[in-house]
Structure 1
């Protein structure tokens, strides 16, 4: 009896130790995801802000998201190499310092009224986020069981989207204060008066981005003195069903990884279409810009609800694969309903795409890097490259609307529906391609 009690106690101690071992890193990563969300979703506010300040077309304004998300494409693989050289913790510190540098670039951009310099600063921020995301996402996946990875990523996602919800109220109230009145004044003004108005509007970025730069640097110092252990992945892949060790010599022996990377591509495209573009969409429906600037918060609130449901349900009641299928189907349904309705009703269905999108990243990422073994870091970088979908797809939507002169709702529908159809394919069968171990 005492032997049983002792062994049970040891097992419980191991379980408690394992749980606590990733609790502290989880908190740190969640704080990082809050930063990711704040910086990324601030771009949604910058789009109408730059349209106001520089008189841009939709295609020109969407260069904001293009500059940010293309940085992931170019910097994800170099980020993987950097992490191998300097380690996870130092990689986060470097990423935060680069993020601060990108934020400070907004100051001279505002003073010189140079849109290209703003885009450069946004690209530098994106480069920093590529490094931080390449480190953080696989870390969340491998610090615990793969089956519950979506739950851990959902915790981080709550922090990410909470930041995104606050952005329109903080940045929107600063950048887009009295937007309609200011827009009319700029249109009516000429000469020196117009120059002064534009300088005044652009100067609104100074204080917020100086504060952000300082906070990023302070957080880097905090990370320096925080215990954040490195997590080693297995060198070889072990098949779950047979226990057989599988030798792989190349990353190209994992077709499910590349299908997953493309799934991230279309997912981020859909997320940006639902989150960053909803304000432009609402304005096209005739809704006031002073109201439309808060629509991104509606989309992110939907995502927040979805994350909470994911934390409760995965994997206890539903697998992350099945959750992905449900989310893809909801995305298709809401996209159709947004197209066939108008006004605030259509906007509500666009916002509900946030609910549909919520569990996609948490499910796609672990499925994409599952069973990669020693290729996990490189595979994670390839998955992160898929974030470039957020750069390309808004421009595709703008092309349909501005150059093919399609109705904006039809253009939106044509742009977004293929994304959800592919995500549904990946959820049903794409994530199993090339793997000996099959999922339900």
Structure 2
């Protein structure tokens, strides 16, 4: 954030603002994790390689980096509430762009629409986060942030399931493997039918978001009066730039690699499962997100009562390394792990390799909340600019998965997960050494 609030919002109750912002955080999660279902779906519809299909994630996440500063400038002129309304409207426009994309089966239109959706989410993220901190007492801000995080990740569990039910409800068992086996004429007809299945869900989503945009503009959410930070809380001596803080720069790089592995775990599991012929592969992201929710709940219960933030980050990185190696060296022909973990719930078993990808959600859950306070520690008056630098780390979600796609085309989807090893190694370095550095 570029500014801080002098006082919390003056309301009798924070319940209504919490409900409104909570709805926005659910939308963040739902729209973001739809990518995990879209990637294997569009690979079939547009006949894409793994690398090409991962441009779906690239076009979405690169919007955060490209449009963050322009959107912040826009918010200064529109105000935060109108900015949220504008963000919802942009997401609606991006969703409606999927209709001509589906009718023409043109991948470029899908990518442009994804970029517009990502731009809308950039506005919403920038505008809504100050509210959740300042709509109640400062002492309970962490609890409110936790609730928002659970809503966000819970939406990530629901999104792929809803997508699969609405878009693929009449196409049970469709995978890249089954479509590739069809004769050319039958394959073209199948692909056209699949593409047209996007139209009604995205039309409905676009119209619903337009209604929400109008409702937000007239909602009782109070406008925030912002004043800029005046005081410097620490004496930084000869440090005149955020680049003079090693813990911050290393933290930004850590978030770059973290967002990269988070998107790989969430968005490529469906691609991987589809290659292996797993039924309803577009819903597999839900498994990764479910383990992220579990990790989030464990973090709420254990930090700082049992373990410290740096210790949680260390354990997360080590678990990531173990699971990454397990993905690469386990057999896709065995299903015992999923049978052990959720077979008793009646859920279908998955190949061990896919199950290990889902478990990466558990390793990733605590990285983002642990890195932020460690990276910003001791920045004083540089905190606002430091936060902006950390946000730039979201670019990892655009670039690292794209490299995964290149490696999967060169070798195999399973071997490409080795890319995650150096990423988790860097996260481990920050947890053990990087966050303690105060001078280069």
TM-score normalized with structure 2 length: 0.82
Q: Structure 1 or 2: larger helix share?
A: 1
1:234 has 2:229 as partner: yes
In structure 1, C-alpha distance between the alignment counterparts of 2:390 and 2:123, rounded to whole Å: 13
Residue 190 of structure 2 corresponds to residue 223 of structure 1: no
CA RMSD in angstroms comes to: 3.3
The number of residues matched between the two structures is: 411
Q: Equivalent residues in 2 for 1:137-286 (5 A)?
A: 137=129, 140=132, 152-177=144-169, 178=171, 180=173, 184=178, 188=182, 190=184, 196-224=189-217, 225-228=219-222, 230=224, 232=227, 234-239=229-234, 250-284=241-275, 286=276
How far the C-alpha of 1:96 sits from its partner, in A, is: 1.2
Instruction: Pick closer, same or farther for the CA change 1:396–1:185 going to 2, 3 Å.
Output: closer
Contact 1:154 1:359 in 2 (8 A): no
Partner SS, residue 113 of structure 2: helix
- Of 398, 411, 415, which residue of structure 1 is paired with 2:416? 411
Q: 1:385 aligns with which of 392, 405, 413?
A: 392
**Offset at 1:236?**
2.9
The answer to whether the aligner puts 1:421 opposite 2:425 as a matched pair is yes
For the residue of structure 2 that corresponds to 1:338, the secondary structure is helix
Cα gap change, 1:424/1:27 in structure 2, threshold over 3 Å: closer, same or farther? farther
Distance 1:115 1:158 in 2: 33
CA distance in 1, matches of 2:251, 2:35: 25
- Measure the CA separation in 1 of the matches of 2:381 and 2:214: 30
- The residue that corresponds to 1:35 in the other structure is 27
Structure-2 change in CA distance of 1:142 and 1:315 (3 Å): farther
1:96 aligns with 2:85: no
Q: Deviations over 1:9-52 (max 9, x none)?
A: xxxxxxx9999876655544332221111111111111111111
Equivalent runs, 1:234-383 vs 2, <5 Å: 234-239=229-234, 250-284=241-275, 286=276, 288-343=277-332, 344-370=351-377, 372=379, 376-383=383-390
Q: Map Cα deviations across residues 180-200 of structure 1 (whole Å, 9 max, x no partner).
A: 558656864556x76554433
Secondary structure of the residue aligned to 1:237 is coil
Aligned partners of 1:153 and 1:362 also within 8 Å: no
Where does residue 128 of structure 1 map in the other structure?
120
Q: TM-score, normalised by structure 1?
A: 0.82
Structure 2 CA distance for partners of 1:333 and 1:228, relative to 1, 3 Å: farther
Separation in 2 of the partners of 1:280 and 1:154?
30
The answer to whether residue 100 in structure 2 is matched with residue 108 in structure 1 is: yes
Contact persistence 1:51–1:61 (CA under 8 A): yes
Distance 2:215 2:398 in 1: 32
- Residue 145 of structure 1, CA deviation: 9.4
Cα distance in 1, alignment partners of residues 204 and 392 from structure 2:
29
C-alpha displacement of 1:167:
1.5
Determine the C-alpha separation between the residues in 1 that align with 2:424 and 2:140: 23
In the alignment, the residues of structure 1 paired with residue 47 and residue 433 of structure 2 have an alpha-carbon distance, to the nearest angstrom, of: 46
Instruction: State the match for 2:346 in structure 1.
Output: none
> Residue 198 of structure 2: SS of its match in structure 1?
helix
